[in-house]
Structure 1
Amino acid sequence: MASTEFEDIVETFDFLDEWEDRYRHVIELGKAMPPLDEALKVPATKVEGCASQVWLMPQIEGRGAGARFHFQGESDAMIVRGLIAVLHALYDGLSVVEVLEVDASAELARLGLDDHLSSQRSNGLRAMVARIRDLAAEAVA
């Protein structure tokens, strides 16, 4: 179910032996993301449950189950911005129903993130996934 973009991240992680190199790669992914417009950094787009400032702005194309899910995101923390990029690779472009079918825990486990993120970062990652799923569920309804 994972996108080609996400599979590329998995392959890169498999190639990189050291977690520090993987960590740097996640940061680079975040740096490559376009910045979120300051006008979109509002309470309605802020993700609660993250130690850092995180904003996710959904962009739903179409209506109903076949609507396509896109989002932009940003954080004030470089590693979290990179985690947003990983989630973008995992979810962006899927139908809203497919977003709900993604087993994020299993997909992210392929990267070994749970073993190497602090508990605060792991909680924040789960909060971002929950927000994405909530946004997709709203679009389906």
Structure 2
Amino acid sequence: MANAAFEELVEDFEFLDDWEDRYRHVIDQGKSMDALEEALRVPATKVDGCASQVWLHAQVEDGKLHFDGASDAMIVSGLIAVLRTLYNGLTPAEVLAVDARAEMGRLGLNDHLSAQRSNGLTAMIERVRETAAAVK
């Protein structure tokens, strides 16, 4: 149940033959995000369970969720960008219907993240889902 922007990202990843290229593409996704304002890097937006510093900020606009985020690690910033692509513009109910693990698997990410990064990704997905449930 991915949106059009995520489907485009999946297509981009299909052209990348090896994990190194995919890893670089994830990092590039993070570099292309706008910086999260320092005022939003507060305990309320901090995601626990990540080895890196991670902040996720959500806004609701016209009944749809929009997420911004930041991390002190390049790969994690990239994962935030990928999650933004997956979730931004969806209603809370649509966010809750997304099988994020399966969608991330389509990018070939599940098999190549360290256990720590995988745990952090799970924590970020859970934060997004909690936010959607609270708004719904």
- TM-score clears 0.5: yes
**3-state SS in 2 of match to 1:71:** strand
Alignment of 1:2-81 (within 5 A): 2-62=2-62, 67-81=63-77
1:3 Cα deviation after fit? 1.4
* Structure-2 separation of matches of 1:94 and 1:32: 21
Q: Taking structure 1 as the reference length, what is the TM-score of the superposition?
A: 0.94
Q: How many residues align?
A: 136
Alignment partner, residue 118 of structure 1? 114
Higher helix share: 1
What are the Cα deviations for residues 63-101 of structure 1, in whole angstroms up to 9, with x where unaligned?
A: xxxx21111101000000000000000000000110000
1:107 Cα deviation after fit? 0.7
Runs of 4+ residues over 4 Å off in structure 1: none
Code of the aligned partner of 1:13: F
* Structure-1 separation of matches of 2:19 and 2:104: 15
Q: CA RMSD in A?
A: 0.8
* Structure-2 separation of matches of 1:57 and 1:16: 30
Q: Which runs of 5+ in 2 are unaligned?
A: none
Code of the aligned partner of 2:92: V
1:61 Cα deviation after fit? 2.0
Alignment of 1:70-109 (within 5 A): 70-109=66-105
Alignment partner, residue 132 of structure 2? 136
* Structure-2 separation of matches of 1:33 and 1:21: 19
* Structure-1 separation of matches of 2:100 and 2:2: 10
* Structure-2 separation of matches of 1:111 and 1:123: 17
